[in-house]
Amino acid sequence: MIVFSSVSKQFLPDSYALENVSFDIDPGELVLLTGPSGSGKTTVMKLLTKEYQPTSGEILFHTVNLNDIKNSLVHEHRRKIGVVFQDYKLIPELNVWENIALPLSIIGKSEAETEERVTDLLELVGLADKAMYFPKQLSGGEAQRISIARALSTAPSVIFADEPTGNLDKDNSLQIAKLLTKINELGTTILFATHDHDVLDILGDHRHIVLENGKLVSDTAGKSKKVKKEETKKTDTKTEEKAPEVVETVTIVATNEPKRVGFLSSLFGKKESNKKISLKKEDEKTKEKVTETKSESEPDDKDSEHKKTEKKEEKSEKKPVKAKKKS
């Protein structure tokens, strides 16, 4: 999915932001890009989004060489990569809803789709009640969650989080780390640039690429993949052991279905908005009430037929009496 092949970025004759760096990232991975400040983490992000051009080497994104992308098409490439910044970069004049909706408006999404996506994203980050707040009314952790929601709005296949916990306390940092992990589990590839030790502690099982002075000093790609294989083997053996007891459950759940890349497709595919769903529920309730009142007020067919026959019998009995009086 992402391939850096002997990539270098040189600014001055003897100054390299990145020097001969090579790695590849598979779809659906969560990769921690670690290293001290100035090690080259942000340079990787700017090279990936074509803000920088590599001095040497090649960068592939979905098998496309970034050097081959024309300047007129760079904006389309950038829509495939959502960036989360350390300082949030929310527009202060816009409220939370408008900040998330802005990228959708730029790419020409309809009002209905924009409303649906923004609603679902606010629920995902747990801030649906802050939709009309402005950035200055948010805490640091809340502002970063809105920044993540905005990065996801255009359904990117990759999220590059550039030191997203740098301005946050420990509790908020862990919340952001858990949120990004959840997004990764839903299918989106995550590049998490950080040197936050608290974050590294809870995400220690994921792959680490360590940069130092622009050079790649270590990459745990092999170890992380081995761990994943062992976990899948364990789950497979567990399901095999319990198969006789839960045969129906195994057949219902699509365990062999491949992991969906880009979780927004599942969130916003054929799903209806929450407002529409709630309206349908109300309609069903009203229909149930109407049927109940009808059933109470209207008699059964058998009862109505019985009453009609009784009335006819009464009339037939009264008619001969009237005839006798006339005679």
| Distance (Å, whole) CA 134 – CA 98 | 9
Quick one: pLDDT at residue 14? 84
- What Å distances lie between residue 289 and 126, 133, 281, 293, CA to CA? 34, 39, 13, 6
**Torsion of the alpha carbons at 234, 240, 244 and 248, rounded to the nearest 10:** 80
What pLDDT does residue 161 have?
Answer: 97
**Closest alpha carbon to 141 in 194, 185, 88:** 88
Q: Are 18 and 7 in contact (CB under 8 A)?
A: yes
pLDDT of residue 272: 41
- Residue 21 sits at φ, ψ, to 5 deg, of -95, 130
| Choices 3.40.50.970, 3.40.50.300, 3.50.50.100, 3.40.50.9100: CATH for 2-231 | 3.40.50.300
- What pLDDT score was predicted for residue 233? 56
Facing residues of 207 across strands? 31
Say what the pLDDT of residue 204 is: 87
Identify the pLDDT of residue 43: 97
User: d(Cα 189, Cα 23) in Å, to the nearest integer?
Assistant: 15
pLDDT of residue 12: 87
Q: Which pLDDT does position 270 carry in this prediction?
A: 38
What gap in Å lies between CA 246 and CA 249, rounded to an integer?
5
Instruction: Point out which residues pair with 209 in neighbouring strands.
Output: 33, 219
- What gap in Å lies between CA 108 and CA 299, rounded to an integer? 56
Q: Are 21 and 40 in contact (CB under 8 A)?
A: yes
pLDDT of residue 305: 52
CA distance 304 to 284: 29
Tokens of 82: 């959502």
pLDDT in tens, the chain (327 residues): 999 999 999 998 888 999 999 999 999 999 999 999 899 999 999 999 999 999 999 999 999 999 999 999 999 999 999 999 999 999 999 999 999 999 999 999 999 999 999 999 999 999 999 999 999 999 999 999 999 999 999 999 999 999 999 999 999 999 999 999 999 999 999 999 999 999 999 998 999 999 999 999 999 986 655 555 555 555 555 545 554 443 333 332 333 444 433 334 455 443 444 443 333 334 444 445 544 544 554 445 545 555 555 555 554 444 444 444 443
- pLDDT value of residue 239: 47
